[in-house]
Chain A
Amino acid sequence: MSVISTDELTTPGLGGGLRDIKQSSFLLKLLVRKELKVRYRGSVLGLLWSYVKPGVQFIVFYVALGIFLGLERSPKNPDGLANYAVYLFSGIVLINFFSEALGNAARSIVMNGNLIKKIYLPRELFPVASVWVSAVHFFPQLVVLVVGCVFAGWHPNVIQLLAAVAGFIIVALLATGLGLLFGSANVYFRDSENLVDMLLMIATWASPVMYAWSMVEQKLGSTVFAIYQANPITIGVELFHYAFWYPTTDGAAAMPPNLFGLWLPVGLVVAVVIVVLGQYTFRRLEGRFAQEL
């Protein structure tokens, strides 16, 4: 809650949207800390689950796709991707971050319904806190990724590291925007969270996490590929490949054309537009949260 000057009459219940988050940073911090504490309560492995789950997921995909379906380069399969394990894992960590962030953000308003019904506070805090929590869970996976990269002969330059930051920002913005959109819609229609689950399943396959981007262009032509490329998650994943996978290879693999000149700005713009759209929808709907929850 913002500090209101005592001299004026003000209308309660009208927040400033995402701008209020800055004033409520203390509350945001506590909400994030609460989620982190509560997440793995009563489990033996605790935070280790944040490593175990993506680890197992990685092994399953690696064996099925890399070995059985032949995406990994080997003496018998020279057309495969070099260091497929790194390629796969760098995409998986980002898509996991996105899935967790959006999945939880979409449920956050309904989950905190008890509070929202009784006390006024900037409700944007809940989706934003979900994204923060996911970012904290993303960190250990990133550490595992970096360790793996180092073993694979990683030698990044500054631009490649900045590419990873840019990819993360694009995906985080997208998750926030969609989280606001689906989180507020979920109050009125619980279909929203199921829709999100479906979208997340699609998102994993609609970006080059498991396969190479060049396959899309070969099979579907350049027009479809342009649409495919405009997906901010695709751009984020490619930026992560450029940062983590590309510096472990001999540099012979081609990166998508115009990744920096065109697609990075496109990804940022799309993500920002989604945030604005999500915020707009959220503000239109939040007035009736208390009575609908």
Chain B
Amino acid sequence: MVTAIEVSNISKQFVLRHTRSLKEAVVWLAKGRKGDLSEKFHALKNVSVEVQAGETVALLGLNGSGKSTLLKHISGVMLPDTGTVKTRGRVAGLIEVGAGFHPDLSGRDNVYLNGAILGMTEQQVNDRFDEIVEFSEIGQFIDTEVKFYSSGMYLRLAFSVAVHTDPEVFLIDEILAVGDEPFQRKCIDKIQELARDGKTLVVVSHDLDLVSRICERGILLEHGNVKFDGSIHDAVAILRS
């Protein structure tokens, strides 16, 4: 087995800054530095996770348990305070679909822009363009500005671009609630197909039934600690209890 993601002992602390204004800082100094200007919050505490290539992993936990933060560390958006994160191959995140979409550009322009943002080359976008449009079921609206799209169309196109980027490691954050029932099924089929092709998947979702269908392994986070790491069914059972 080859390691796809290796997270060792990472910790992340956020500073919840109340203010940055000069006035507050002066008042704080004048009062003899009583209290703390900033409040700290541990999002992740000494988390270690190793994911093998081809594994399908769900990150579970309640709101604020650090799931999304961990995902952002794997994608490289955030850097840990201590510890190291290493990944093998290209990592692409479906972290909030449509983050790179611009409402005033046409669907076509957005496919190119978003494809490039997710790391595709010009050649790759050209080659897969028809496939992306077909999968999204946008059809003739591809040259319409996306601000005129319904939210379902918007998400379908964004999801379609993302699944066609073809990375080795896929990070998926709470986006499986895409579009209507048939399209959702199509997305899940596509994700399962990726898993069968040996792609590594890391999914964050609150839809426990759905993740139990897609993933084999579940990692349960609680207040920034790994509480459980094992089969998805056990993880779901612990979370539900």
Contacts and interface: CB of A to CB of B under 8 A. Distances in A.
A277 B146 CA distance: 39
Interface string B50-89: 0000000000000000000000111111110000111111
Interface in A145-164: none
Contact of A118 (B73, B90, B95): B95
A119 B85 contact: no
Contacts of B77: 13, 116-120, 290
B99 A119 contact: yes
Interface residues of B, number: 38
A12 B76 contact: yes
B229 interface: no
B224 interface: no
B118 to A, nearest CB: 7
Interface string A17-55: 000000010110011011001100100000000000000
SS class of chain A's interface: helix, strand, loop or mixed? Answer: loop
B109 A27 contact: no
B189 interface: no
Given A6-B88, A10-B87, A287 B117 contact: no
Nearest to A112: B100
A38 B102 contact: yes
A115 B100 contact: yes
Given A12-B74, A118-B77, A118-B96, A27 B90 contact: no
A203 interface: no
A16 to B, nearest CB: 13
B113 A30 contact: yes
Interface in A40-79: 41
B27 to A, nearest CB: 19
B105 interface: yes
A13 B76 contact: yes
Contact of A9 (B72, B87, B96, B118): B87
Contacts of B116: 24, 26-27, 30
Given A9-B3, A26-B116, A37-B105, A119 B75 contact: yes
Interface string A79-110: 00000000000000000000000000000000
B80 to A, nearest CB: 9
A34 B105 contact: yes
Contacts of A10: 86-88
B6 A119 contact: no
Contact of B93 (A7, A41, A118, A288): A118
B78 A13 contact: yes
Contacts of A118: 77, 93, 95-96, 99
Those 8 A-B pairs whose CB atoms lie nearest each other, nearest first: A13-B76, A12-B76, A1-B119, A120-B76, A9-B86, A27-B116, A118-B99, A287-B79
